Structure 1
């Protein structure tokens, strides 16, 4: 049976945002769909945008929007068109991020890991996160800062390990394939949080790679994988 990790070991804890700190994965899915529709996309194009978003997981939105423009609607990637999509997505997402649920065990986890410093590391837009989290009263939980796109997670991790911001041993808590790959590639331990993930094949992936899986931030281990 999986054991609950010993959190007292860690000097640094890195948390993903969507699906971990906030129940916002479906919010993001809806934002991609509604952005495509508002910008004149067909139903099929909007669904293809959503599928690509889910496939890429925690990759920053900039890359997804570029792909949508060039590969799905097959339009020239002009600065004006790209910015119009970015602005529309931000407008749609802002209100819903202020309303979505915060992980119930977030404050308990903070108390339990009082000896570790926290960092938020998201695929979401960094400037947007740095506006949303203070408005929700959550920014002070993350002593090491709030980081996001357009810089990718593996790039953030590499730079913050190099400058000593991340101290080892370190733990990354995420809910996507890219979270696992980026964190373990950088030498961090990893826990997959399952209850709010939108990763379609997470059970098979976690079994194949021997990933520790927990329900939410209470970090109660999942003892058996069942079809969602």
Structure 2
């Protein structure tokens, strides 16, 4: 790790940051929920894509109350979760990495505290990271149904002297970082809400990068770049 690096702990979202999986997960939801009707499947996919970063269970329950008039019973939601989870395990094993992931993991894995904080199912994520041979590079892999905010709170409490940087691609990531006071940057190449996060980045002064590759190159260049990045990333938490 460069001695010039001014953050010494890194937290990554998963979908759209590590894996190019956002569109595949939308397709999986559409496939499963279409058994309850084409229109409701399309409505849910639209709802889901605006709430990336939120656990699937929370999303399904909120959609059912807010949009679906409570038509799904508990067994419906459980069936959707089970079938969707099976599809996710398959797609994660085959989907592509986002650009720069391997370089970032090689640079920071086992060099600084390196965590995943995702809305995806935690057990599923750990299985996938083991299958893809990445689990040994992470200090910890955290996911749903525990909210992302709670994971960030625990990390801050466990490492009170660490200067964290959280990288995400969704409003829920930004909201969690802001609530907890963790410096944050967006990557948008694989986000399903590019316009929304561009507006958030502009309104709150959040650094916005294309992907981890661009972020990695930026932080490698100089101590000035690193200081500037962490300064901007931290301002939105004030």
TM-score by length of 2: 0.81
The alignment partner of 2:99 has SS state of: coil
Residue number among 20, 26, 30 corresponding to 2:27 in the alignment:
30
Give runs of ≥4 in structure 1 deviating > 6 Å: none
Provide structure 1 residue ranges, at least 5 long, that are not aligned to the other structure: 1-5, 222-228
2:134 counterpart of 1:153: no
Q: Is 2:14–2:116's contact at 8 Å kept on the other side of the alignment?
A: yes
Deviation at 1:58, TM superposition (A): 0.7
Q: Is 1:126–1:146's contact at 8 Å kept on the other side of the alignment?
A: yes
Residue number among 130, 137, 141 corresponding to 1:134 in the alignment:
130
Residue matched to 1:98: 93
Distance in 2 of aligned mates of 1:103 and 1:7: 25
Distance in 1 of aligned mates of 2:117 and 2:58: 17
CA RMSD between the two structures? 2.1
2:99 counterpart of 1:89: no
Q: Greater helix percent: which structure?
A: 2
Distance in 1 of aligned mates of 2:206 and 2:123: 31
Distance in 2 of aligned mates of 1:95 and 1:25: 14
Provide structure 2 residue ranges, at least 5 long, that are not aligned to the other structure: 219-238
Residue number among 10, 15, 23 corresponding to 1:13 in the alignment:
10
The alignment partner of 2:84 has SS state of: helix
The alignment partner of 1:56 has SS state of: coil
Distance in 2 of aligned mates of 1:132 and 1:12: 23
Q: Is 2:16–2:191's contact at 8 Å kept on the other side of the alignment?
A: yes
Distance in 2 of aligned mates of 1:178 and 1:71: 18
Distance in 2 of aligned mates of 1:41 and 1:76: 10
Distance in 2 of aligned mates of 1:177 and 1:188: 14
Deviation at 1:80, TM superposition (A): 2.4
Deviation at 1:209, TM superposition (A): 1.3
TM-score by length of 1: 0.84
Residue number among 176, 186, 196 corresponding to 1:192 in the alignment:
186
Deviation at 1:195, TM superposition (A): 0.8
Please list, as runs of the form range in 1=range in 2, the aligned pairs for 1:68-79 lying within 5 A after superposition: 68-75=63-70, 78-79=73-74
Q: Is 1:41–1:73's contact at 8 Å kept on the other side of the alignment?
A: no
Distance in 2 of aligned mates of 1:78 and 1:21: 34
Residue matched to 1:172: 166
The alignment partner of 2:212 has SS state of: coil
Aligned length: 212
